[in-house]
Amino acid sequence: MADGHQPTTKSSPLGKQTLYPFKMALPPDRGHISTEQQNAGNEEALDLLPTEEIVRLITVDQQAAIMAVDAQAGEIASFIDEVVDRMRSMGRLIYLGAGTSGRLGVLDASECPPTFGADSQQVIGIIAGGDDSLRRSSEAKEDDPFGAVPQLDELDIGPDDTVLGIAAGGTTPWVLGAIEEAKRRGAATALLSCSPRDSPPGCDRLLVVDTGAEFLTGSTRLKAGTATKATLNAITTATFIRLGAVHDNLMVDLRATNDKLLDRAIRILLVYAPQMDREEAAAWIDASGGHLKTAIVAVHHGLSPDTARRLIDRCDGSLRDALDNG
């Protein structure tokens, strides 16, 4: 070997010779973390069960994930209110995670522009190892506590931003290091964990959605993944409701970027103007530059799209206020 160390040869249980590095760092014992523990109610031989029984056991186990999120609704809501205040000052919400946690953050962030008409820089998802890790696992990247520094540099993280680290077990060095660095740069910081732990250095708010032991020991893509996705759904949906992107239960700021979304925009406009046909509704949306909220206000008050847009701006983006005060 180039460094002068010779590997040690050991016998494997299969009777073959296996090479191990001469020196192997012993990893920290994570057996105390709830998501790593064996599920006491599920110690039976899963590999011997009928497939349908496995499916039923998994679905029952998944229900606990949603209950865990509901149990923390108050803490999550307080965090959301802080995010909204910072976004009103042009701040951003930035998710940081590794593996499944990182993928879920990227997924949630990427859905905000088409759903809420958000700028692509309002909610940003960063995964350890970069975008290649979305398709190919790169577990080793998560062990570097300084690994997120280049991305934080590129984003120029600052005091108006909120950085949410996502780590199912709450111990990922890449995530914890990013939180500490983001705090040093003045950002508001939080950690979303699915296992109880103390607040780490640099963390302003700890969100613990305690999902307990997994159906398959240590596989946090299961309950922890479900709880994480549900929590992120709640965070961005409630945030953009507060920011005026929703009226009643309609996504009035959606971007009609494909046929499905254009059809949805047409049907939403027809809720406000049922006297129209689909062709006329589509024409109003087109005349409004694809901005559904503008089309709604223009039709409701009989205004030009430009005038409707100015009215919406005066109402801080609130469709409800624009409809009431035109």
Q: How does pLDDT run across 67-76, given as a tens digit for each residue?
A: 999 999 999 9
pTM: 0.87
pLDDT at 36: 75
- Angle at Cα 188 formed by Cα 183 and Cα 191, nearest 5°? 85
165-182 pLDDT per residue, tens? 999 999 999 999 999 999
Contacts with 119 (C-beta within 8 Å, 6 or more apart), sequence order: 113
Mean pLDDT of 188-207: 97
CATH superfamily of 53-242: Glucose-6-phosphate isomerase like protein; domain 1 (3.40.50.10490)
More confident residue, 40 or 43: 40
Same-fold call for 53-242 versus 259-324: no
Q: How far apart are CA 321 and CA 289, in angstroms?
A: 21
Mean pLDDT of the region 241-255: 94
Q: Regarding the domain delimited by 259-324, which CATH topology (the fold level of the hierarchy) does it fall under? A: Helicase, Ruva Protein; domain 3 (1.10.8)
Tell me what pLDDT residue 4 has. 47
Q: Domain spans of the chain?
A: 53-242, 259-324
Q: Which amino acid is residue 152, in one-letter code?
A: L
What is the distance between the alpha carbons of residues 226 and 65, in angstroms, rounded to a whole number? 6
- Which residues carry out catalysis? 111, 142
